[in-house]
Structure 1
């Protein structure tokens, strides 16, 4: 849950992700909304797991929420997902108020995936989650050299 304790809305999630990235920018973490940066998120959560005995639960919730917002925003920017407010049944299933809808219509909970990564460990890798996620938009393929020359000639 974000700082302040009220449930987040889908329309606010990009702002939450960007705010989290801004807060950790001084640590020089490469959180650049790429798929590769999800490996950094996995490492960050591993560190949180190691320090869990001394963790302040309220602070931990804020950090996990920020990481979940970031993961969801990677899905939005790289896989064509859209943030959505979850309906009552989805909230009960995921235990979250917001999620993402993939281009194929499937709904996922990046916030829940981050919590799972924290609670379960490495087998819940967020980078692997992205790479095996069904329903992603096809990545645009780079133009071939021949196609680039043809466009330039027009």
Structure 2
């Protein structure tokens, strides 16, 4: 999936997931804690990562979209070196030019547990520009 397709894909994921559950996936910074908790729930259920890879991808993509809407990031296609480094095709670029990998962060949370946090990642973003309202 390319950077240009991420917003539509995330919107579809949120629609699908919230139609079945009352998850507060409202693109707020607080909703990143929900991403951490959902990831913990998947981890606690005991499946192998490859069996929940699709869900982990979309949870990470949702987190990236929160970064876009709340911190001034933009979706970018990673170059070959970044793809090798991050293990992903896309990520987000902050206004200061730094790139981040929220999809990979969710995968790390699944493997490592609470020592990794998507919500904490948000607070560590350099170059964050506060956004008044979701775009």
TM-score normalised over the length of structure 2: 0.91
Q: Is the 8 A contact 2:70 2:130 kept in 1?
A: no
Deviations 1:79-121 (A, max 9, x none): 0000000001100100000010000000011111111111111
How far apart, CA to CA, are the structure 2 residues paired with 1:57 and 1:133?
28
Say whether 1:112 aligns with 2:104: yes
**Structure 1 unaligned blocks of 5 or more:** 1-7, 141-154
Shift, 1:68, TM fit: 1.0
Mapped to 1, the partners of 2:35 and 2:60 lie a distance apart of 9
Matched, 1:22 2:22: no
Structure 2 matches for 1:54-69, cutoff 5 A? 57-58=50-51, 60-69=52-61
**Residue 57 and residue 92 in structure 1: after superposition, are their counterparts in 2 closer, same or farther (change >3 A)?**
closer
Matches within 5 A, 1:111-150: 111-139=103-131
Answer with 1 or 2: which has the greater Rg: 1
Equivalent residues, number: 131
Deviation at 1:61, TM superposition (A): 1.0
Query: SS of the residue aligned with 1:121?
Result: helix
Residues 1:32 and 2:29 are matched in the alignment: no
Q: Structure 2: any 5+ residue segments left out of the alignment?
A: none
In 1: Cα distance, 2:49 partner to 2:94 partner: 34
**Superposition RMSD on alpha carbons, in Å?**
1.4
Look up the match of 1:90: 82
Match of 1:41 among 30, 35, 46: 35
